[in-house]
Chain A
Amino acid sequence: MNTGFLTIYWRDMLRFVRFKTLLVSSLIQPALWMAFFGVAMSSSFDRLGAGIPPVPGVESVGYLTFMGAGVIAMTTLFTSLFGGIVLLFDKNWGLMREILASPLPRHHIIIGIGLSGMTKSFIQAIIIMIFGLLIGVEFFRNAGPLDIAVSVLGILLFVGIFSLGFLFLSATISISMESPEGLQGIITLMTMPIFFASNALYPTDAFPQIMRDLSAVNPLTHLITGIRYFAIGSDFTAIGIHVTSTPDDVVRSLLMLVVFAAGMFSIAWWRFSRAVVT
């Protein structure tokens, strides 16, 4: 097997650990979200939800726990959407020419960047989980070590496939754009709807129909569905709303993510095969 993508992976990880500020900020940023936004929002949401009578026999979780899954998802989204930007810099600095003139098949560039971005997302997700548990996020309640291990692997599976999809998208945009500013603009424009038309911050039940439809095809929703299933459970209430998911739902969400990632990979492949860089 041709393992050329490992070369791209190696270089990108080299940069990741080399730029200390980048490394540290990408690790601290989600923790800060969790600490400030999570704690502030949870104190008000939990007060609002306090008046709603609990559903008998169903566990109730705090807003911080509910949102913890959203923070993992959101961090993965941002990191992945910006993960391809290195290709834009490589292109503008002329470094891409060395790679494109080499015998390395072009799709290996996409795979390499995908895998390194995925690794970064794994690291971030694990840090958020640990930090979240420290500040009172109630993930993996009443679970033994084996259950926790399975749950963490489940979460990473969802995070991994989701991040690959957005990394391929990011690579496609990067190779097509001329300036980092343009890329930044497009990504900012995209993150808003993806983020808010999802179940990251609140359950989608209360959304108007159109938002619910959007949310149902939104990869972020499917990622969060998966994370909540593994981290919190299949049946719980948060801020007075009853959330349930069957294993079927979870498998469907996973399949949606796989389809999304495969689609993005095809587009990136097509785009890279046509890219001219001189």
Chain B
Amino acid sequence: MNEPVISVANLSYRYGTFTAVDAISFQVQKGEIFAFLGPNGAGKSTVINVLITLLALQEGSVIVAGHDLQRDPAGVREAIGIVFQEITLDRDMTAWEILEFHGRLYALPKEERRKRIDELLALVELEGKRDAYVKELSGGMKRRLEIARGLMTRPKVLFLDEPTLGLDPQTRIRMWEYLRDVNREGTTIFLTTHYMDEADQLSNRISIIDHGRIIATGKPWELKNALGEDIIYLETADNDAAMQILDGDERVRSVRRTKRGLLAMVHGDGTQLLPALLDGIHDAGLKVTAVNLKKPSMDDVFVHFTGRELREEGPARHMVRRR
């Protein structure tokens, strides 16, 4: 299992003087689903575009599927499949023609091509749309067609840049199922996303990327555990005073301010710790106005590591308010 399919060391990329990717290093193991999680403008697409040879390698070393990007870009191209961030399908071609064109581009023999098209249309459940024009397909169907296209050449790695961007929740979950199927059949997957749940549920390992740097890497549960076992949210009459009290408590791992309250990450079982901590604050004469207890989510991990919130996504927080 410990056999890197993608190996990146000190990769940097500059647009003019602006550094979009800043000395990034990471490895993706064979058979993994690996995700880059980061907000808009983090540099995710730039990394992908360098890895798939669309942008020149300016600095650093990259090996993809055994091919050195600098010395053998052609080898890299033949070994990978790509699903771009935006839809890149000719609206006026049929689903079948899209795949046929791709197969020809990669010089697949005719027999192989035709067989593969049938297999893949079945995999992404588009057999019925074989002769439909792209413009007649829904957003989710287009994405599935693009995934099928990315798999035409049986790539060692499939790159997906924000594969579920703009899809409705059900379609996204279906898409994840397709990707898990593809992965089970042996294709390593490298994807970028700014959806917390996508990184959390779909990938085996995540790198959190922000401002062109990797801030943390690990399995989803590892990242969450780094925050402690439970998270307690408090609103009090005097948050500053309450923060001092919590900071001094050895059962509390760390405390952070939010807009209206405090977030305390705790080492032990939150259900047991919560009453004790509340008692402490109460004894100091501070009134607690709101409380919430939860397991760390990917959102919390993200906020913890980047110091900011990815506001658009993730489930709404459920608050227990005390009047």
Contact = CB atoms under 8 A, between A and B. Distances in A.
Nearest to A277: B54
B88 A100 contact: no
A278 B82 CA distance: 13
B78 A103 contact: yes
Contacts of B250: none
A98 interface: yes
A14 interface: yes
Interface in B41-94: 45, 49, 52-56, 74, 77-78, 82, 84, 86-90, 92-93
Contacts of B221: none
Interface string A71-104: 0000000000000000000000111011111111
B104 A101 contact: no
Contacts of A99: 105
Interface stretch (A4-12, A53-61, A219-227): A4-12
A94 B45 CA distance: 14
B97 interface: yes
Task: Kindly state the interface size class of chain A when it binds its partner.
Answer: 20 to 34
Nearest to A11: B101
B102 interface: yes
B84 A94 contact: yes
A95 B54 contact: no
A18 B104 CA distance: 20
A102 B55 CA distance: 13
B166 to A, nearest CB: 15
Contacts of A98: 82, 84, 88, 102, 105, 149
B98 to A, nearest CB: 9
B84 A97 contact: yes
Nearest to A18: B92
A60 to B, nearest CB: 50
B55 A103 contact: no
B54 A100 contact: yes
Contact of A7 (B74, B87, B105, B149): B105
A14 B86 CA distance: 24
B54 A101 contact: yes
A276 interface: yes
B42 to A, nearest CB: 16
A103 B77 contact: yes
A39 to B, nearest CB: 37
A6 B104 CA distance: 9
B97 A102 contact: no
A19 B90 CA distance: 13
A15 interface: yes
Contacts of A276: 54-56
A276 B55 CA distance: 7
B104 A10 contact: yes
A97 B92 contact: no
A46 to B, nearest CB: 46
A97 B54 CA distance: 7
Contact of A94 (B86, B97, B102, B149): B86
Contacts of B92: 15, 18-19
B108 to A, nearest CB: 11
B107 interface: yes
Contacts of A7: 101, 104-105
Nearest to A94: B88
Contacts of A95: 88-90
A2 B52 CA distance: 22
Interface in A3-47: 4, 6-7, 10-11, 14-15, 18-19
A99 B54 CA distance: 10
A97 B88 contact: yes
Nearest to B84: A97
A202 to B, nearest CB: 42
Contacts of A104: 105
A18 B53 CA distance: 32
Contacts of A101: 52-54, 77, 82
A73 B106 CA distance: 37
Contacts of B78: 103
Contacts of A102: 77, 102, 105-106
Contacts of A11: 90, 93, 101
A2 B105 CA distance: 11
B283 to A, nearest CB: 60
Contact of A93 (B88, B102, B104, B106): B88
Contacts of B106: 102-103
B105 A4 contact: yes
Contact of B93 (A2, A6, A14): A14
Nearest to A3: B107
A94 B84 CA distance: 9
A102 to B, nearest CB: 4
Interface of B: 45, 49, 52-56, 74, 77-78, 82, 84, 86-90, 92-93, 97, 101-102, 104-107, 149
23 contacts: A4-B105, A4-B107, A7-B101, A7-B104, A10-B104, A11-B90, A11-B93, A14-B97, A19-B92, A93-B88, A94-B87, A95-B89, A95-B90, A97-B88, A98-B102, A102-B77, A102-B102, A103-B74, A103-B106, A103-B107, A277-B54, A278-B49, A278-B55
Given A11-B90, A18-B92, A98-B149, 19 more contacts: A4-B107, A6-B104, A7-B104, A7-B105, A10-B104, A11-B93, A15-B92, A93-B88, A94-B86, A95-B88, A98-B102, A99-B105, A101-B53, A101-B54, A101-B77, A102-B77, A102-B105, A102-B106, A103-B74
